[in-house]
Amino acid sequence: MTTPEPGNEPAAERTGPVRVFLVDDHALFRTGVRAELDAAGDRRVTVVGEAGSVNEAVAGIGHLKPDVVLLDVHMPDGGGAEVLRRARLSRPDVVFLALSVSDAAEDVIAVIRAGARGYVTKTISGRDLVAAVCRVADGDAVFSPRLAGFVLDAFADRPGAAPISDPELDLLTPRERDVLRLLARGYAYKEIASELFISIKTVETHVSSVLRKTQLSNRYELSRWAADRRLV
């Protein structure tokens, strides 16, 4: 349906492991992730650097040119979204995967809309994290069940939702909805593919398309979060 953005080309020509950069303001947590990735990485993933603040992260990403940045959503000085905005100016080809304990929909959606290719919670197992890193490195999107739920919620047709200005962006196709539902139910891509009788590649395409809509549709901010917080 859609091709990944230019710059996120599947790294078919990549040789060697995926180079990962960690951004989190808690050193203890960075150490944990690093150990986890080394243990479960199986030489497919290697951590090339880490940063504990926005400035450090922007400098480090510019200098080290990692393939994937694992990004904490909540940090001082603007958080993950700020890192995304600034780092993408100099390194548009770096892929970001948000990793957070936050459960608040608006925080998660904000990083996705700032350009992250996926969101996983910090309780994810090491093996799943490695898989998620490889997936975003290949240009696909990674949706945790929770993110799938948030997105379904955001695109739901409820009274008071913002009007649809661009159906191409503001509506999910029935198939995309099916895929999201299965994601929210905790199904892996492979299980979704066999459930819906489609290929894994097609599942990935659907998820990427949903990601694009989440990033670009304006329906979202206008309706729910604003209304919830009584800002409108």
Partner 1 sequence: MFTRGGAGSVPDDLPARTCDHQGVTLQPHGPAAERAARPAPGPEVIGPVGAPSAAPPAVPSGGKAAVPSGGKAAMPPDGEVAEPAKLVRRRTGRVLAGVSGGVADHLGVDVLWVRAALTIFAGLGGAGVLAYGLLWVFLPQAKPDAPAIETTPRERQQAIGLVAVGAGLALASGALGGSAGAWITGPLGVALVGAAVVWREADESQRRRLRSGTGTLFEGRVGLIRVLAGVVLVAGGLAIFLLGSVDLGQVQFGLLAVVATLVGVAVITVPWWLKLMRDLGEERRVRIRTQEREDIAAHLHDSVLQTLALIQKQADAPREVKRLARRQERELRNWLYEDKGHGRTSAEAAAGDDTPRTLAAALASAAAEVEDTYAVSVQSVVVGDVPLDASIVALVQAAREAMVNAAKHAGVGEVSLYVEVEPEVVHVFVRDRGAGFDPEAVSADRHGLADSIHGRMERNGGKVRLRTAPGDGTEVQLEMPLKVAAVKEAKA
Distance in angstroms (rounded) separating the CA atoms of residues 38 and 218: 40
What are the backbone dihedrals phi and psi of residue 226, each rounded to the nearest 5 degrees, phi first?
-60, -45
Q: Cβ(64)–Cβ(49) under 8 Å?
A: yes
Q: Is 4 or 207 the residue whose CB approaches partner 1 more closely?
A: 207
In this structure, the number of other CB atoms found within 10 A of the CB of residue 178 comes to 16
Tell whether residue 126 is a contact of partner 1 (CB under 8 A): yes
Sign of torsion, CA 62 4 46 184? positive
Query: Shortest approach of partner 1 to residue 53 CB, angstroms?
Result: 12
Using the minimum distance from each CB to partner 1, give the nearer residue, 15 or 123.
123
Please report how close the Cβ of residue 9 comes to partner 1 at its closest, in angstroms. Answer: 30
Q: How far is the CB of 61 from partner 1 (least distance, A)?
A: 22
Q: Provide the H-helix boundaries in 5-144.
A: 27-41, 54-64, 79-90, 105-114, 126-137
Binding residues with partner 1: total (CB under 8 A): 36
158 makes contact with partner 1 (CB under 8 A): yes
- 34 is a contact residue toward partner 1 (CB under 8 A): no
- Kindly indicate which of the ranges 52-60, 83-91, 133-141, 224-232 contains the residues binding partner 1, using the contact rule CB under 8 A: 224-232
Out of 156, 164, 173, 218, the only residue in the binding site for partner 1 (CB under 8 A) is 156
Helix, strand, coil percentages for the chain (3-state, nearest 5) = 50, 15, 35
Q: Is 33 in the site for partner 1 (CB under 8 A)?
A: yes
DSSP per position, 152-192: HHHH---TTPPP-S-HHHH---HHHHHHHHHHHTT--HHHH
Scan for tokens 């990935």, then name that residue: 204
CB of 149 to partner 1, least distance (A): 4
DSSP state at residue 139: T
Give min distance, CB of 159 to partner 1, in A.
10
Interface stretch with partner 1, choices 7-15, 87-95, 151-159, 200-208 (CB under 8 A): 151-159
The residues binding partner 1 (CB under 8 A) are 25-26, 28-29, 32-33, 36, 74, 76, 79, 101, 103-104, 122-126, 129, 145-146, 148-149, 152-153, 156, 158, 181, 184-186, 225, 228-231
